[in-house]
């Protein structure tokens, strides 16, 4: 394994200009009158967002803000892995591995990383400090994509274990949501001697096999969580079915059309983030358009939307081949955070049957992209989780 090489993002001005030219020539489809977006993203909203992307959004400024963080590339098993490695000024800080999901990226963690490395600036203490390692998943952003089948969450977890070892971290905590949650759980299983604890802000509500009448033990609010997830299973997973069956066909459209890419990603933020305020739903109630478009632009400029969605197919194939075996019980100390805007929410009693639950937190704000939506709440929860781990049992 090679040593890390310093890296910074640089998108040429000609590429930025070419994107703006493409955003000037859009063939807009017709639509039905659908105020609640049940058919998908509303045209008027997308037109306004695309106009902002073309005329107002400042990629060089956003690029510069990412480049303020310490970034590296490292060759792991023949593929470059891109990652942020931001060390705290507190030398004895705990190592923390942050893993994003889809359609997110390292952009999700830009505002939370300073809160984790320098907590005293944000109301924390020196004891709360972390050395943060934040990799881009293979085929996302500036991490190289695998071009042969088989880059599933288990293999990604193994790559992350090698990354932490290469950086000299003998002990660490891992955190993840979305794919990051699945990868983090695999990591805890395969690198148990080094991964001391994990924290998840996404856990699907799977009824425990050994819990008889599992619904009888749930509160009314938890039953509402399950009912909402059942609706989501019927009406909100079309994207998943195509991405886990024919991702390459979809990749042509999303790679070629920046507007199509923007719609595909932005719709997920509209439905998965905590966007409702006063009966009105708008992405800007959760994150700014600049944050959203930084994430979209990263996918566009790196041309990685196709390689990113292949992970859905790789996961399904790995399960079918039994390359990944679900664990009956995860013994690693685990923290769970539940955010109100998240659709799949797992009842606490079910989580307790699935893992060694040592920390449970229910946030007042935030959704699927928790670190991006509520960086202070997210950081404070990790501080509290860390403190709990330090308290002798």
Please tell me the distance from the alpha carbon of residue 371 to that of residue 184, in angstroms, as a whole number.
16
Closest CA to 172 of 98, 96, 87, 117: 96
- E strand intervals along 202-329: 276-277, 280-281
Which pair of tokens denotes residue 147? 């071009």
Please tell me the distance from the alpha carbon of residue 179 to that of residue 172, in angstroms, as a whole number.
19
The residue from 128, 178, 191, 381 that is catalytic is 178
3-state SS string over 171-229? CEEEEECCHHHHHHHHHHHHCCCCEEEEEECCCCCCCCCCCCCHHHHCCHHHHHHHHHH
Q: Is 131 left (phi over 0), alpha (psi -120 to 50) or beta?
A: beta
- Quick one: DSSP state of residue 2? P
Determine what percent of the chain falls in helix, strand and coil, rounding each to the nearest 5.
50, 15, 35
Calculate the CA 318 to chain-centre distance: 20
The residue from 312, 359, 381, 386 that is catalytic is 312
Q: Is 368 a catalytic residue?
A: yes
Q: Is 199 a catalytic residue?
A: no
Residues in CB range of 96: below 8 A, 6 or more apart: 116, 130, 131, 132, 133, 172, 173, 174, 175, 382
How far are the Cα atoms of 184, 188, 197, 199, 333 from residue 175, in angstroms, in the given order?
Answer: 6, 10, 9, 5, 12
Dihedral sign for Cα atoms in the order 250, 262, 115, 133: positive
Which residue's entry shows tokens 């509500």? 205
Please tell me the distance from the alpha carbon of residue 295 to that of residue 8, in angstroms, as a whole number.
16
Q: Which residues pair with 199 in a beta bridge?
A: 175, 335
Catalytic residues: 178, 312, 368
């Amino acid at each position: 394994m090679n040593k890390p090489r310093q890296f910074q993002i640089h998108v040429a001005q000609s590429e930025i200009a070419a994107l703006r030219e493409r955003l000037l020539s859009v063939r807009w489809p017709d639509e039905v009158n659908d105020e609640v977006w049940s058919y998908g993203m509303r045209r008027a909203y997308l037109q306004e967002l695309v106009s902002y992307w073309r005329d107002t959004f400042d990629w060089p400024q956003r690029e510069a803000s990412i480049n303020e963080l310490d970034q590296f590339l490292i060759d792991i098993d023949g593929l470059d892995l891109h990652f942020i490695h931001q060390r705290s000024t507190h030398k004895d800080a705990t190592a923390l591995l942050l893993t994003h999901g889809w359609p997110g990226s390292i952009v999700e963690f830009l505002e939370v990383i300073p809160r984790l490395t320098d907590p005293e600036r944000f109301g924390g203490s020196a004891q709360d400090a972390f050395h943060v390692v934040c990799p881009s998943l293979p085929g996302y952003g500036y991490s190289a994509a695998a071009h042969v089948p088989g880059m599933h969450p288990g293999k990604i977890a193994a790559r992350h274990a090698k990354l932490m070892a290469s950086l000299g971290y003998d002990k660490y905590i891992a955190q993840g949501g979305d794919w990051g949650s699945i990868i983090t759980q695999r990591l805890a299983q395969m690198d148990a001697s080094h991964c001391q604890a994990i924290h998840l802000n996404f856990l699907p509500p799977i009824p425990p096999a050994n819990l008889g009448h599992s619904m009888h033990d749930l509160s009314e609010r938890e039953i509402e969580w399950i009912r909402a997830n059942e609706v989501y299973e019927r009406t909100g997973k079309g994207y998943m079915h195509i991405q886990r069956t024919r991702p390459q066909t979809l990749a042509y459209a999303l790679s070629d059309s920046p507007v199509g890419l923007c719609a595909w990603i932005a719709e997920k933020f509209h439905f998965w983030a905590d966007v409702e305020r006063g009966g009105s739903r708008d992405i800007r109630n959760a994150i700014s358009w600049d944050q959203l478009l930084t994430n979209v632009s990263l996918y566009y400029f790196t041309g990685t939307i196709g390689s990113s969605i292949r992970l859905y197919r790789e996961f399904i194939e790995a399960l079918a081949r039994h390359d990944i075996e679900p664990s009956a019980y995860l013994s690693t100390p685990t923290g769970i955070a539940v955010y109100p805007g998240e659709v799949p929410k797992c009842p606490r009693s079910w989580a307790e049957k699935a893992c060694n639950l040592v920390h449970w937190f229910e946030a007042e704000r935030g959704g699927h992209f928790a670190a991006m939506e509520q960086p202070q709440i997210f950081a404070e929860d990790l501080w509290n989780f860390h403190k709990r781990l330090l308290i002798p049992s």
